[in-house]
Structure 1
Amino acid sequence: MDTTELNTGQPKKIGGFATRIGLLIGTNLAVIALFTFVASIFGVDPQGIVGLTIFAALFGFGGSFVSLAMSKKIAIRSTGAVVIQTPTNDTERWLVDVVTRLSRDAGIETPDIAVFDHPVPNAFATGAKRNDALVAVSVGLLQQMKPAEVEAVLGHEIAHVANGDMVTLTLIQGVVNTFVILISRILANVVMSALGRDRGGMGIYFIVVMFLQVILGFFATMIVMWFSRHREFRADSGSAQLTSSTQMVSALQALQRQHAEDTLPDEVAAFGIRPSKAKGVRKLFSSHPPLEVRIAALQN
């Protein structure tokens, strides 16, 4: 497959560490301010259990849905991917034809198709809607894997879109975020009542809340990562139905032989292929199952 004429972009870095931290803090403050303003308009009292639950849901789901709504733009910006508007060479025409056919077979509209300049074989799918998604592949994937294997990887990404995995993952993240925020504040109130409200005031309260959020968030991440691993098996199975089990196994084996370090930007890393090498407890925090486990699942 000739990839020398592909129209690709370079991955873009959004400032340095300080800039990213500033953007993160600024975004969170803006979200908090917005939700607080909206809640005050509707007369929500954050001190009561009902008000606290509503506040927790607003914070828990708010950030997740904002990220989902902007996921396509964030993915394109962070990877420097170039969306194929009109195919200009044989490789782009082949990509468009394959994705169009797989999308039709999966019962969804053809997503936007993009290529990004990345040496390691990788691909990802994202988007807030099944019929308005983005599927992107790296140059390394096109250069180092056989067409049948690339087709299987594309089938895997199309299966993610058809299964609505991006929306489902967002909902699960929102639910666990809500429980973390709600339970941490309820427990913090219990602690403050035991200590006496006049000891430390709001300063101690917020320290307790933050500590509990870190602890509860630790366990909440396990739940989200469990679903993330589960959706990979479903997407593998979906690709096997759209292409064949043999193709999907061959694609995973080709990825297994890849030893180069994956350096996808953090913004889309969870949506990439990400062969997991985690062991022990670290497996519980891995977004993808080990490739050998995925291969065995398809073969069995």
Structure 2
Amino acid sequence: MKRIFLFVATNLAVMLVMSVVLSLLGVNRYLTGSGLNLGSLMVYSLVVGFTGAFISLLMSKPMAKWSTGAHVIEAPSSSTELWLVDTVKRLSDRAGIAMPEVAIYEGEPNAFATGAFKNSALVAVSTGLLESMTKDEVEAVLGHEIAHVANGDMVTLTLIQGVVNTFVVFLARVVGYLIDKAVFRNSDDRGPGIGYMVTVFVCEILFGILASIIVAWFSRYREFRADAGSAKLLGSPQPMVNALARLGGLEPAATLPQNFRSFGINGGGSGFAALFSSHPPIEQRIAALRNAQ
């Protein structure tokens, strides 16, 4: 679950830095000084929106290792580590991808996969998961994570994040320009005024909240798809059903950093919070697997 804090935080931090740098270079003043140049604004928005998303993607694997304290298994030192590496190898071969790095980290039951490229990914499981599940259930969880990698979910999530970031930056500045011109100033011979800056700031927060709902919806969709992928790799949905049922009876995995929660196996929310949840409720995932039988 650590992936959302690092992915989103890094993404937003880079967006902020890029926005400040471009503003200091006079880009905002150029865009609004003598009328809004929509073409230039779109280029500006693309640069700011996608830069953060792609830097977050490229940093995802080292950040995941650092934030979880994950230990990559270079040479298995126990029967559990040997079984874990062999299982990931077998599943990745079935999925047609290169063998990911395999890691273990201390924490409550959870697992995640990350990495910028399909053939150089990382699959990590927690000690809590290994201790609380049977081998068949752990294998199902590993199949779920391998399915994420094979589906290219990390790249797709990055592209979606970049697109929504772009529209947040673009629309916030369009609204800011219109309000600044209509309410706060009467002429176009000056650069952006205080109305523009305040409006852009407020709109980026509001539009960012709406954008996060879109990203969370896709994240939930890919969880269903990864569950189905695990069932396909194992030849039956029952191991994944059993793994999810066991996870449903365990404590939430709060040890993953917030920015990595969308990459974990466990999660979910209810009520209004479900709109922002990266994972569907466990019971919905189990029902989807059973209905697919």
TM-score normalised according to structure 2 size = 0.87
- The answer on whether the counterparts of 2:95 and 2:146 sit within 8 Å (CA) in structure 1 is yes
Residue in 2 that maps onto 1:86: 75
Aligned residues: 275
Counterpart Cα distance in 2 of 1:58 and 1:25:
13
- Within a 5 Å distance, the mapping from 1:45-64 to structure 2 comes to 46-47=31-32, 48-64=37-53
Which residue of 281, 284, 292 corresponds with 2:275? 284
- The answer on whether the counterparts of 2:110 and 2:128 sit within 8 Å (CA) in structure 1 is yes
Residue in 1 that maps onto 2:182: 194
Counterpart Cα distance in 2 of 1:30 and 1:279:
34
Over 3 Å counting, the alpha-carbon distance change for 1:87 and 1:231 in structure 2 is same
Which residue of 133, 141, 146 corresponds with 2:129? 141
1:281 Cα deviation from its structure 2 partner: 2.1
1:267 Cα deviation from its structure 2 partner: 3.4
1:46 Cα deviation from its structure 2 partner: 4.0
- Within a 5 Å distance, the mapping from 1:1-300 to structure 2 comes to 30-32=17-19, 46-47=31-32, 48-118=37-107, 120-197=108-185, 202-243=193-234, 244-259=236-251, 262-276=254-268, 278-300=269-291
Secondary structure at 2:125's aligned position in 1? Answer: strand
1:241 Cα deviation from its structure 2 partner: 0.4
Structural RMSD (CA): 2.6
Secondary structure at 2:109's aligned position in 1? Answer: coil
Residue in 2 that maps onto 1:8: none
Over 3 Å counting, the alpha-carbon distance change for 1:206 and 1:149 in structure 2 is same
Unaligned runs of 5+ in 1: 1-10, 12-20
Moved more, 258-267 or 207-216: 258-267
Q: Which has the higher contact order (CA 8 A, sep 6+)?
A: 2
Over 3 Å counting, the alpha-carbon distance change for 1:24 and 1:56 in structure 2 is closer
Counterpart Cα distance in 2 of 1:109 and 1:39:
46
Residue in 2 that maps onto 1:16: none
Unaligned runs of 5+ in 2: 3-8
Secondary structure at 1:128's aligned position in 2? Answer: coil
Over 3 Å counting, the alpha-carbon distance change for 1:91 and 1:39 in structure 2 is farther
TM-score normalised according to structure 1 size = 0.85
List per-residue Cα deviations over 1:31-69 (Å, max 9, x = no partner): 4466679998xxxx6442111101101111110100100
